[in-house]
Each structure stands twice: as structure tokens, then as C-alpha cells.
A and B are shown apart, each in its own frame.
Chain A
Amino acid sequence: MTDPIGVWVGAILTLLVFSYLLGDTPLFRVAQAIFVGVAIGYAISAAVYLILLPLLFDPLIINPVMNSYLVIPLILGLLLLLKLRTAWAPVGNLSIAFLFGVGSALALGGALDGTLLPQLSAIVVPLDSLENVLLVAGTLGALLSFRFIQPQSGRFGARVVETVARGWGAFGRWFVMIALGALFASVAVSRISLLVNRVYFLLHDWLQIVK
């Protein structure tokens, strides 16, 4: 970043955000408002230039006959915008229903193919080392720890299964807690890296007192 105006703007905005360390100051709120404004402006530009123009309006204008089927998403999109008025909002439900239909099908396929099958196949390992035993027992235990079923009473077999599942689930909760601790530490490290980056920017790029 060699642009001096850009460096000054970036440094002032960084200091505005860091003013929160002194409390919820008006300066911090100004930074928040600018951030929201910039994000909105950028999102509008991205939606228009990266999606609406190349995928909808350009094909419709260039070759309306060949791309006449694009009238359907155009109508659905306009129906969606009717949600801005409370009285007309139910008309927009059709577009929301379309999004939910396609979205749920993609989520189902993605969860099955992208998460469930790869993760299940990853725990099919030979139990020939302590690591593999812990991986399998921990994964199943972590899954059992999220089991919220009313305890079975009555039959002896059901009570045994319940006791084993509860014990294994309690064991699995240790693995969940270890995972959460590791995730917490990873997030902390990434945020500290960002903090170092911002401080370096202030001292190196802006004040130029650090080489």
C-alpha cells in the first residue's frame, strides 16, 4: 500500500475502531457506520456487476429470444422486491419458496456427499494404534454426547444400552471440549495475527517508525 492518502485513510479508520478499547465512543460508532455503508455500497455493486448484469440483463438484452427463459427469474426477483411493502409481501413468498426448494435440495446433497460420507469413511480405520482407537471412540462418543433421548425404563437390555450410550457420550463430551478448546485457541491466534498486522500497518506504513 504505497498510496499516501489511502494509508492515512486506513490509519484513521483503524484508530477509530481501536478507540473502542477506551469504551463505546462516538468515534467507534462512526467507524461502524462507515463500515456498514461501505459494505452495503460494495454489495450493491457486486450484485449488479457480478450477477445481475452477466447472468440476467446482458443475455436478455443481447439475445432475448434465445434467453427468454430468463424472464422467469426476472419475474421471481421482482416478486421478491414486493416484500418491501407489508401488504404485498405474501406475493414474494413464491420466490422464497423457490429459494428454499433449491436450497434444501443442494443442502441435502452437500451434507450427504460433502460431509456425512467423507466423515463416516474417515472413521473406518484399522484399530491398530492408540490414535486410531481414540479417533473412532472419540468421534462416536462426540456424536452420542448430542443425543437427547428420554432414558428407557423397563427392559433390562434397553437399560444396558442406555447406560453404555450415556457413559460413552460423557466420554465423547471430553473430545468435544478438547475440540472447542483447540478451536478457541486457533481463533485467538488468528485474531492476534490480525492485531499484529494492524499495529504493524500503523507503525510501518503510516508512522514509518518500524522498518
Chain B
Amino acid sequence: MRWLATSVAIAVGLITLLDYFFDVPILDALGVAFRQWTIILTAFALLLGVINLLQVHLRRIIRRDEASAGYSLIVVVTATLVASAGLWFGLPSEPMTWVFENLYVPLQGAFFALVAFFLATAAYRALRARNLETTWMLIAALVVLLGQTPLLGVLTDAREWVLNVPSTAGVRGILIGVALGTLATALRLLIGMDRPYSE
């Protein structure tokens, strides 16, 4: 079974890669089909994750011995109600738009807004000028932060310069490093050196 999985990964990977670089009709057709199947499989993977999550919460409810059983009940009930509404009315539909605008958006907005308070405490710990490197970080953070306020308009140009020159250079270095790492990891998968699907 392991050899079959490895063969499938290498074969579909190489065909998709060849389709990326060469304009051959048969490769184009296979590439399009593989990408569409990947989207379909991703939806199945999402369902797999959701079912697994619900199983975990249902187990907690059935056991009743854990302090979080009540919260698990809320998760299961809310998920069932929203999924039922979604499957019944379809997507997009008026009830699901209501759910999105009045449940999802306020909750997501409030959770992300809460991060502002944690960032303040994190800033106190991370942005202390302990050495030259952290001093640069502190200066950059202060210039970018204060450069956005209308009270300190003189920092607007400095903010633009920090974002366009040293920050861009740093981010570009990180991005090139990430891309090289992605290339290496993808190549290892494509030649079968790494086989995470066989574990």
C-alpha cells in the first residue's frame, strides 16, 4: 500500500509540475483535472476534520465527567443549527447571510480586537532595547506606529522610508528564504524522499 501511495504522489506531482512549465494539450487536461480533484478532496478533508471535531466534543458530552462538557454541548448545538440552516436554505441565502453578519463577523471582530490588548503586553516584553538588534526593532515599530497618527505628522515621511527601504529589504530576504525552503521541501516530496502520507 505504501508503494502505491508514493507512486501516486510522485506521478500526479510530476504531471502537475510538467503542466506548469510546458504547454502540451494532454498535460493541460490532466493538470486542470488534478487541480479540480484537489479542490474536491480538500472539501472532503474539511468534512473529515469537522466530523472528527464533532466526535471529540460528543465524546466529552457523553462522558459528562469533564468540566468542558457544557461548552462542547454549545459547540455541537451551534454547529448543528448553523449547518442545518446552511444545508436547508443553501449558500448564499438570507438566513446564512444573517448568521455571517450577526454571529460570525462580530465574534471574529471581537476576538481579533482582543489581540490589541495582548499586543500591548507583548510589546512591553519584546520591544525593550536590550541590544542593538532589539533597539532597531523598537525604533521601527515606534516610527511605523506613530507615523500613522495625525499628531506626529513629521514622522509620516520617516514611516514611509522605513516601510519602503529597510523593512522591504528584511521582508524580501525572509520571502526569498521561505521560497527556497518551499522549493526544497516540494522537491523532496516530489522525488519521494519525504513521505508524510505513509505515516
Binding site for B on A (CB under 8 A): 1, 3, 5-7, 9-11, 13-14, 17-18, 20-21, 29-52, 55-56, 69-70, 72-74, 76-78, 80-81, 83-84, 90-91, 93-113, 115-116, 119-120, 122-123, 131, 134-143, 145-146, 172-189, 191-192, 194-195, 197-198, 201
Residue of A72, A109, A178, A197 near B37 (CB, 8 A) is: A72
What residues of chain B lie closer than 8 Å to A139, measured between beta carbons?
169, 172-173, 176
B23 to chain A, nearest CB (A): 14
Residue of A13, A49, A101, A123 near B110 (CB, 8 A) is: A13
Closest residue of chain B to A95 (Cβ to Cβ) is B41
Residue of B17, B48, B96, B134 near A105 (CB, 8 A) is: B17
Task: Return the 10 tightest CB-CB contacts between A and B, nearest first.
Answer: A142-B173, A41-B82, A45-B86, A37-B78, A138-B169, A179-B170, A181-B140, A77-B44, A17-B110, A101-B13
B92 to chain A, nearest CB (A): 8
Asked if residues B114 and A18 are in contact (CB atoms below 8 Å), the reply is yes
Asked if residues A94 and B75 are in contact (CB atoms below 8 Å), the reply is no
What residues of chain A lie closer than 8 Å to B47, measured between beta carbons?
44, 47, 81
What residues of chain A lie closer than 8 Å to B81, measured between beta carbons?
37, 41
A47 to B87, CA, bound (A): 10
A175 to B132, CA, bound (A): 12
6 residue pairs of the A-B complex, CB under 8 angstroms, read: A42-B100, A93-B2, A98-B9, A135-B169, A145-B173, A174-B136
What residues of chain B lie closer than 8 Å to A116, measured between beta carbons?
176, 179-180, 183
A145 to chain B, nearest CB (A): 7
B116 interfacial by beta-carbon distance below 8 Å: yes
B197 interfacial by beta-carbon distance below 8 Å: yes
Asked if residues B82 and A80 are in contact (CB atoms below 8 Å), the reply is no
B contact patch SS: helix
A115 to B39, CA, bound (A): 23
- What 1/0 flags go to B30-56 for Cβ under 8 Å of A? 000111111111111111101111110
Binding site for A on B (CB under 8 A): 1-2, 4-6, 8-17, 20-21, 33-48, 50-55, 68, 71-72, 74-87, 90-91, 96, 98-117, 119-120, 123, 126-127, 132-134, 136-145, 148, 161-180, 182-183, 185-187, 189-190, 196-198
Most interface-central of B43, B55, B163, B183 (chain A CB within 10 A) = B43
Asked if residues B173 and A175 are in contact (CB atoms below 8 Å), the reply is yes
A contact patch SS: helix
Asked if residues B37 and A33 are in contact (CB atoms below 8 Å), the reply is no
A140 to B76, CA, bound (A): 51
A91 to chain B, nearest CB (A): 8
A98-B38, A175-B166 known; A119 vs B172 contact (CB < 8 Å):
yes
A37-B76, A83-B48, A175-B170 known; A181 vs B141 contact (CB < 8 Å):
yes
Asked if residues A93 and B13 are in contact (CB atoms below 8 Å), the reply is no
Most interface-central of A120, A136, A179 (chain B CB within 10 A) = A179
A37-B78, A90-B1, A198-B110 known; A138 vs B173 contact (CB < 8 Å):
yes
A80-B41, A173-B133 known; A47 vs B46 contact (CB < 8 Å):
yes
Most interface-central of A21, A32, A47 (chain B CB within 10 A) = A47
Asked if residues A49 and B20 are in contact (CB atoms below 8 Å), the reply is no
Closest residue of chain B to A138 (Cβ to Cβ) is B169
Closest residue of chain A to B106 (Cβ to Cβ) is A10
Q: A52-B44, A84-B48, A84-B51 are in contact. List 12 more A-B contacts (CB 8 A).
A: A6-B98, A9-B106, A13-B103, A40-B53, A40-B54, A43-B50, A55-B39, A99-B42, A102-B12, A111-B178, A116-B179, A182-B140
A94-B8, A100-B197 known; A31 vs B107 contact (CB < 8 Å):
yes
What residues of chain A lie closer than 8 Å to B109, measured between beta carbons?
14, 194, 197-198, 201
Asked if residues B82 and A37 are in contact (CB atoms below 8 Å), the reply is yes
Asked if residues B113 and A197 are in contact (CB atoms below 8 Å), the reply is yes
